[in-house]
Chains A and B, each alone.
Chain A
Amino acid sequence: MENYFDYTKKLFDPSQVKEKPEVFKGLRVLDFTHVIYGPTAAKVLGSYGAEVIKFELPWTGDLWRFGVLWGSFWRHSSICFHFVQYGKYFFSLNLKLPKAKEIIYKLAQNADVVMENFASGTAETWGIGYSQLSKINPGIIYLSCATYGQYGPMRFFPGWDLLAQAASGAISLTGYPGTDKYYKLPDYVGDFLPGNIGALAVIMALNYRKKTGKGQYIDLAQTEALMRIMPNFTYESITGEELGRAGNTDPTMAPSGIFKSSEGKFVAVAAATDEQYKGVCQAMGHPDLANKYTDTFERLKPENAKELYETAKKWVAESTVDNLVELAKKHHFAIAQVEDDYDIANDEWRRERGSVVMVTDDIYQRLLMPGPHDMLSKTPGRIKWLARPLGYHNRYILKKLLGYSDEEIRQLEKERVVGYWDDKPGIKPPVYYDIKSDPMFNYRGE
């Protein structure tokens, strides 16, 4: 039989991704979302082949076009905006005008999915809510993303990742016990994870529609999505006590922690099972400890786990990372060196795997990006192009998808129903790029 890794290498070969089919080809998504949370849900569908039309207000655009780290743009754009908006069609339309609504209703006739993340009820007042669009197209799947959901006393409260973390209690879980040192979850994960859960919900609804032909309305609350990953409620209902913070150890495994090695590098070590525990005791040179705690639950008790944590800490402080990894391979316990941004971007294995990819783009040239988080052997996700300047696909959408003539488009531009960028980084093309000769921006329909 062929070696397993030779077999899987062929199965997932990253160089073949472009040749493979796309699951959601032919699906149309109307994406009225902004910032991170909603756009992430639409992005997932787009990366698997759906045609995602992103709506933005002319001249101002999505707020997250300006969401840059420490105030510095990359090629007049925001990297995070590229990450949540790649592969979409950028349509800049003033939703408030009746003519714009006509256009949206026309697009909705052939749309499969609609997404929005305004405050509860806003989409309805603007005439693009579920009650209105489902009338035009009853098979539509409509995802409303909000921090607190569409109903309940707090539904009007505005929210961000931070507020979802504060309202769920997730904000206070990361840090050191017995101190007031705690930190929010990093990288807006309170947006990214709920956004992906939104995509999951839509995919489930697509599965349901495949079976029954029925569309539906989905109400996703960011805070509830975060609550789904918190063990605290269940723990508290069993013990009657708060779970609290645990510092740098995982209270479900002993020993476990992030420690400093002899050369000053950080390394995470954990023993998830009894087998792994025996292994780590051997590796630490403390086979006696393996016999001391043969019962898993006994071992995990705070005072015992503390003893093991201290033993492991001391052991790691006296070893090099390479040495520890060799021991882990021999004795089968979990280990990994802490990787920072630079390490992750430059790991050879991630490039080989396709989880870090160099994207080449007509406008922005080259950008290193994370690949899909799930590798699908037959229908892999892919990045076709990066984000685009505001209104970049206006002409393409109006002409190709809706059959407007040049004259009609000029009229819409004149009435400011559709619009383009202002002279601001984030929404305009990079300064070196000649947008006037861009065939997509100046789409003629040939």
Chain B
Amino acid sequence: MSEKEQILVRYGGSRKEREIFLKSMMSPDGKPEVLDDDVILDASYANMSGDICSSIYAEFGAEVIKIEPPEGDPSRKITHYGVNRNGTGVPFIMEARNKRYITLDLRKESDREDFKKLARKAHVVIDTYEPGQMDAWGIGYRQLSELNPGLVYIAISSYGQYGKKAQEMIDVPDSDITAQAVSGAAANIGDVATAEEPYNWPLRAGVWLGWHTSGILAAQGGAIARYYARATGEGQMVDVATADAYSSLVGYPVMVAFTWDKARPRIGIHDFCLYPYGFWKSRDGMVAIAASRDHDFRALLKILKIWKHEDDWRFTFDRIPDMLTLVEELYGLIGNETKKYTSDELVKMALDYSIKSARSKWRGGGVPIIMKVQNPSTTMQNPHWAVRNSFKEFDESGIGKVKLPVNFIKMSESPPRVKWVRCAIGQDNDYIRKKYLQ
């Protein structure tokens, strides 16, 4: 970095200059890719967590070869309300980032030979079949690691590759909603016990908390294993259980149950640790409010002009009682005020206050945060993401125009990028056969 650039990165640079500089610093154009010498075989079948995992590698520049039977991976048909483009659904298109597609029917011995040939040259294999299936076919970690000792073998399944439960549930396939149910996500979403049915039932999260977390975490584990393989030449097996991924990601379920000796109840829109920390109705929409530290909360009371309640809710621990009636009282207290203003007014009130308090020599002014609640449509229109190139539109034959959330990690030397989303079945058969199978 030159002296001038160093100044620009620093807070002191002018807003415009700093923005332009950081944007070009993080731009992927013409930069190398981390995994440009890695070959990844994605043999995942009917399980999007495998496709998600291989997507991450493809974004970082690996040659990802998706192995499908001639009729296509059933995960192509896992799609919202049946929406598809030429037989390929929304999630599959979203994860069809920079991949190559070859048709190999792993049920056939001859195709398995081709798979073995590919595996000799590969660095990572991704498997989502039921535990032991690939092994029974002679192409599991046990056999492939003999052929290629440096191979990293990622297996994703409901209950993992070892242990009694994995064996017991071997005939039951994996899905996102079951992964959410068994890993503690669903049990902690939903309205309070006193609400009417079915609102007080455990609820599925509106994103794939089972499959997306499993896929991303598997990519993380695989990248760690690749680092070890680069250093020592030794590959290994990475085992991810979708039934574990969420609970091990957030940690709360296990630790709360141990320290409380019971499960948490569902508490609807409220929070166990922080208050206010949620969303409220404004005059024209919804606002999210986070003002949980004591000085943030005092600031919130001031800007909402309800300072008179300060005495009752002074400390964090007053505001997170285990009595629902009290929680709802405070919720109502804030809600009565927020509905008097528009969302924009509330956001401005909080920002004005925060700017003043940041400049104040008196401490404890607080930074109450109020944000307009966005939905995905309005998020796409936010100019902030345009500056950051967070979305990219593709126009591919067979798919048409699609928009993807991209560039989710910005790196100065070897950033990930999305180059294409073409994903016809067997579209790269010739290319792959020529390059790897001759």
- Nearest CB on B from A228, distance (A): 4
Within 8 A of A (CB), among B111-148: 131-132, 135-136, 140-142
The distance in angstroms between the C-alpha atoms of A216 and B26, with both chains bound, is 10
- Nearest CB on A from B377, distance (A): 6
The distance in angstroms between the C-alpha atoms of A208 and B34, with both chains bound, is 5
Which of A23, A192, A229, A248 is the one whose CB lies under 8 Å from B201? A248
- Nearest CB on B from A218, distance (A): 5
Q: A219-B22, A369-B254 are in contact. Are A237 and B401 (CB under 8 A)?
A: yes
Contact flags B362-389 to A (C-beta < 8 A → 1, else 0): 0000010101111111111011110110
The distance in angstroms between the C-alpha atoms of A53 and B430, with both chains bound, is 51
- Nearest CB on B from A376, distance (A): 6
CB nearest to B409 among chain A residues? A201
Q: Are A153 and B249 in contact (CB under 8 A)?
A: no
Of the listed stretches A343-351, A388-396, A410-418, A433-441, chain B binds A343-351
Of the listed stretches A89-97, A100-108, A239-247, A400-408, chain B binds A239-247
Contact flags A232-271 to B (C-beta < 8 A → 1, else 0): 1111111100110111111111001110100000111110
The distance in angstroms between the C-alpha atoms of A346 and B384, with both chains bound, is 45
Complex contacts, B253 vs chain A, CB 8 Å = 187, 340-341, 344-345, 370
Give the total number of A-B pairs whose CB atoms are below 8 A apart.
Answer: 603
Complex contacts, B69 vs chain A, CB 8 Å = none
Q: Are B220 and A44 in contact (CB under 8 A)?
A: yes
Of the listed stretches B100-108, B167-175, B298-306, B330-338, chain A binds B167-175
Q: Does B85 contact A (CB under 8 A)?
A: yes
Complex contacts, B188 vs chain A, CB 8 Å = 186-187, 340-341
The distance in angstroms between the C-alpha atoms of A206 and B60, with both chains bound, is 13
Q: Are B34 and A333 in contact (CB under 8 A)?
A: no
Contact flags B233-261 to A (C-beta < 8 A → 1, else 0): 01011111101111111111111111111
Q: Are A373 and B186 in contact (CB under 8 A)?
A: no
Which of B22, B376, B410 is the one whose CB lies under 8 Å from A230? B376
The distance in angstroms between the C-alpha atoms of A189 and B249, with both chains bound, is 8
Complex contacts, A4 vs chain B, CB 8 Å = 131-132, 135-136, 140, 142
Within 8 A of B (CB), among A125-141: 125, 129-132, 134-135
Q: Are A204 and B60 in contact (CB under 8 A)?
A: yes
Q: Are A237 and B84 in contact (CB under 8 A)?
A: no
CB nearest to A254 among chain B residues? B82
The distance in angstroms between the C-alpha atoms of A338 and B244, with both chains bound, is 13
CB nearest to B197 among chain A residues? A260
CB nearest to B199 among chain A residues? A181
Q: Does B349 contact A (CB under 8 A)?
A: no
Q: Are B175 and A253 in contact (CB under 8 A)?
A: yes
Complex contacts, B388 vs chain A, CB 8 Å = 149, 151-152, 221, 224
Q: Are B354 and A158 in contact (CB under 8 A)?
A: yes
The distance in angstroms between the C-alpha atoms of A48 and B223, with both chains bound, is 12
Q: How many residues of A contact B (CB 8 A)?
A: 179
The distance in angstroms between the C-alpha atoms of A252 and B171, with both chains bound, is 22
Q: Does B177 contact A (CB under 8 A)?
A: yes
Q: Are A373 and B249 in contact (CB under 8 A)?
A: yes
Q: Are A372 and B248 in contact (CB under 8 A)?
A: yes
Q: A243-B80, A334-B172, A345-B258 are in contact. Are A183 and B190 (CB under 8 A)?
A: yes
Q: Are B377 and A242 in contact (CB under 8 A)?
A: yes
Q: Does A377 contact B (CB under 8 A)?
A: yes
Complex contacts, A296 vs chain B, CB 8 Å = 77, 82
Q: Are B173 and A333 in contact (CB under 8 A)?
A: yes
Which of B82, B187, B290 is the one whose CB lies under 8 Å from A301? B82
Q: Are B201 and A266 in contact (CB under 8 A)?
A: yes
- Nearest CB on A from B380, distance (A): 6
Q: Does A352 contact B (CB under 8 A)?
A: yes
Q: Are A124 and B81 in contact (CB under 8 A)?
A: no
CB nearest to A165 among chain B residues? B288
Complex contacts, A267 vs chain B, CB 8 Å = 181
Q: Does A432 contact B (CB under 8 A)?
A: no
Question: What are 24 of the A-B contact pairs (CB < 8 Å)?
Answer: A69-B273, A70-B272, A70-B320, A71-B320, A74-B259, A83-B255, A124-B9, A154-B384, A158-B354, A162-B290, A172-B375, A203-B220, A227-B408, A231-B207, A245-B206, A256-B177, A268-B178, A272-B46, A273-B46, A301-B81, A334-B173, A344-B257, A355-B160, A370-B248
Contacts A83-B252, A167-B374, A375-B238 aside, 6 further interface pairs with beta carbons under 8 A come to: A11-B237, A24-B224, A167-B371, A210-B230, A256-B177, A344-B247
